[in-house]
Amino acid sequence: MGLTLADNVLAEGLKRIQREVDAAFDVILPVPGDARARLVEAMRYAAIGGGKRVRPLLVATVAGMYGASRSAAVRAGCAIEAIHVYSLIHDDLPCMDDDAMRHGKPTLHVQFNEALAVLAGDSLHALAFELLAGHEVSSDPFIRAELVCCLAKASGHNGMAGGQVMDMAAEEEQFDLQGVTRLQQLKTGALLMCAVEMGAILGKVPEEGRHHLRAYARDIGLAFQIADDLLDHEGDEKLAGKALRKDEGQGKATFVSLMGPEKAREQARFLSEQAIGHLAVHGAEADLLRALARYIVERDH
Amino acid sequence: MGLTLADNVLAEGLKRIQREVDAAFDVILPVPGDARARLVEAMRYAAIGGGKRVRPLLVATVAGMYGASRSAAVRAGCAIEAIHVYSLIHDDLPCMDDDAMRHGKPTLHVQFNEALAVLAGDSLHALAFELLAGHEVSSDPFIRAELVCCLAKASGHNGMAGGQVMDMAAEEEQFDLQGVTRLQQLKTGALLMCAVEMGAILGKVPEEGRHHLRAYARDIGLAFQIADDLLDHEGDEKLAGKALRKDEGQGKATFVSLMGPEKAREQARFLSEQAIGHLAVHGAEADLLRALARYIVERDH
């Protein structure tokens, strides 16, 4: 387990996209000289310098495999990260998961206040679509509209937000493996799938050429969630930078509670290998995606 | 005051768009047969059968003046209304304005719960952009991308959400008339301006042909807010369907507190007349906009 990030390809790739996303948010979110300053400070607090940036890495890597511009991909990566970050802010609210720590620092509503956490989340949500609809992402309006459509679907009631409501329902009724799979496909899978899809849109990959990328995304999405459940079960709170074992305390069904830790780990590794298999048509240009598939199941936080 | 809606043009126009928007949301938001049902029920509770639909009316009327399709305009109208509705849901939350009544019925977090109110708001937010990026709004991707850009800017930290944070700041520091004007231009003005702009985008009005429409929107936006402050000061809670006089209780600066009710009413009427003046280049096709400008300052709720 201590071998995570040993893969240099991935370590370099993550460091690079983290730097690029942080730099882009810094430019996109200047603090205004009026009463909105606190709002933008809160947005910056949540958006800059935290998180692994897995979604932007997926967008940029797939886009790069098909020759799309790096700066456009970083901007689209910022958009999907803005959605991810807003969902974490709202998820952490007292009326939701009521979490006090995130990425090793106080959550937004603790550091600022609840009202500002709601509004900073909402503002990052709107920012995502402003970024995607802007000319900097592509001079082709068809690409801009496709990106918006993809991200809006993945984040709304038929995607991430729908998955979160299913997750709330899972606290009251016992979900089976099929139910947990469906829940997680929406809650975290939809946005990971969308990241790969956005890379393909930027790279102008025709619809029929996206099947293997979608299959890859589906597999790493599930592997990611199983690994997350394993980390929640046996991980280190300090490394995670957040509270763990909340699901277990609530008796909520997870991959680990339903399959047991051994079987779950086995399944995560199987999915990771299967994901890499879907990339067989690609050469070295897909190495970062392969490294990511391995990292996702071996990471320690 | 009892003469509001006496104008038949407007009464018919509002009735028509209300029917169309309700019917569209009913089709757009079918209740799924899984654990997301509660989420979609909450979205429907907030989005269907409430509100005056002023923003969709503006989109559809301006779009119609320039020959755009009615069904496309109604769909774009639903998008901007989804943004308006989500902002009301989040605004009503206990950590924000903590309101229990809206449009004469319990607010979403009272009827359902707080977590669902956060997520239903977030889902309507995403839905707005999904609607605008879809082919049903326009076969021209440039128009779809422009609509998304316009709405995202108007709702984010440089628009509505920014105005809401200014509004929170106004509870702590005393704003002057210029400050209140700026606050309201963002908080409610940006979205009204966007409604007119969206109509112009659908109608393919060139940039240089939009000045008079923007001037109209700016004036009715301010008139609308001054009238709102007057209604908050002297209105009937039953007619309003929500709690009134909260700003006064908090000693918050409003147009009425800063100008006095007489001067404020005078200013609202002046702005309404000025807004109508900006429509001088148009004939009868702009009568609905003229009627709306009059209604905004004479309405009793």
Rounded distance, CA B169 to CA B173, Å?
Answer: 6
**pLDDT score at A190:** 97
Lowest model confidence (mean pLDDT) among A63-72, A190-199, A229-238, B67-76: A229-238
**pLDDT score at A171:** 87
B123 to chain A: closest CA residue: A156
Rounded distance, CA A92 to CA A84, Å?
Answer: 12
Lowest model confidence (mean pLDDT) among A187-191, B76-80, B135-139, B234-238: B234-238
Lowest model confidence (mean pLDDT) among A109-123, B28-42, B231-245, B277-291: B231-245
Q: Is the pLDDT of residue B6 over 70?
A: no
> Is residue B1 one of the residues assigned to a domain?
no
**pLDDT score at B159:** 97
**pLDDT score at B249:** 77
**pLDDT score at B101:** 94
**pLDDT score at B301:** 74
> To the nearest whole percent, how much of chain A has pLDDT over 70?
98
Residue A106, CA distances (Å) to A103, A263, B245, B276 in order: 8, 34, 36, 51
Residue A72, CA distances (Å) to A5, A12, A202, B148, B171 in order: 26, 20, 8, 18, 41
A102 forms beta bridges with A105
- CB-based contact, A212 to chain B, within 8 Å: no
Q: Do A148 and B133 touch (CB under 8 A)?
A: yes
Please name which of A48, A52, A44 lies closest in space to residue A224, comparing C-alpha atoms. A52
Within 140-199 of B, beta carbons closer than 8 Å to A belong to 140-142, 144-146, 148-149, 151-153, 155-159, 161-162, 164-166, 168-170, 173, 182-183
Mean pLDDT computed over every residue of chain B: 94
Is B97:B243 a contact under the CB 8 Å cutoff? Answer: no
CATH number for the domain spanning A166: value is 1.10.600.10
> Is residue B234 one of the residues assigned to a domain?
yes
- CB-based contact, A90 to chain B, within 8 Å: yes
**pLDDT score at B248:** 76
Residue B197, CA distances (Å) to B77, B150, B278 in order: 12, 8, 15
Q: Report which of residues B87 and B3 the model is more confident about.
A: B87
- CB-based contact, A38 to chain B, within 8 Å: yes
> Is residue A2 one of the residues assigned to a domain?
no
Q: What is the ipTM of this complex?
A: 0.95
Say how many domains are in chain A: 1
Give the N- to C-terminal CA distance of chain A in Å, as an integer: 10
For residue B9, the surrounding DSSP H or E stretch is helix B8-28
- CB-based contact, B76 to chain A, within 8 Å: no
pLDDT tens-digit map of B150-175 = 999 999 999 999 999 999 999 888 89
Interface-testing mutation among B123, B132, B157, with chain A (most A C-beta atoms within 10 A)? B157
Rounded distance, CA A182 to CA A94, Å?
Answer: 26
Is B159:A33 a contact under the CB 8 Å cutoff? Answer: no
Q: Shortest CB distance from A90 goes to which of B40, B118, B152?
A: B118
Query: Structural domain of residue B179, as residue ranges?
Result: 8-298
- CB-based contact, A262 to chain B, within 8 Å: no
Residue B229, CA distances (Å) to A44, A89, B26, B182, B293 in order: 33, 32, 33, 15, 16
pLDDT tens-digit map of A133-164 = 999 999 999 999 999 999 999 999 999 999 99
Instruction: Give B-chain residues touching A116 at CB under 8 angstroms.
Output: 165, 168
- CB-based contact, B223 to chain A, within 8 Å: no
Is B160:B87 a contact under the CB 8 Å cutoff? Answer: yes
Within 99-118 of B, beta carbons closer than 8 Å to A belong to 109, 113-116, 118
**pLDDT score at B234:** 87
> Is residue A110 one of the residues assigned to a domain?
yes
Rounded distance, CA A186 to CA A177, Å?
Answer: 14
> Is residue A209 one of the residues assigned to a domain?
yes
Q: For residues B104-119, give the mean pLDDT.
A: 97
Instruction: Give A-chain residues touching B76 at CB under 8 angstroms.
Output: none
Q: Do A36 and B123 touch (CB under 8 A)?
A: no
> Is residue A27 one of the residues assigned to a domain?
yes
**pLDDT score at A243:** 80
- CB-based contact, A282 to chain B, within 8 Å: no
Q: Is the pLDDT of residue B2 over 60?
A: no
Per the rule left: phi > 0, alpha: psi between -120 and 50, beta: everything else, B103 is left
Which amino acid, B150? C
Q: Shortest CB distance from B165 goes to which of A38, A129, A153?
A: A38
B187 to chain A: closest CA residue: A36
Q: Is the pLDDT of residue B190 over 90?
A: yes
> Is residue B55 one of the residues assigned to a domain?
yes
Q: Shortest CB distance from B127 goes to which of A39, A87, A156?
A: A156
> Is residue B3 one of the residues assigned to a domain?
no
Q: Name the pLDDT band for A5 (thresholds 50, 70, 90).
A: very low
Is A121:B93 a contact under the CB 8 Å cutoff? Answer: no
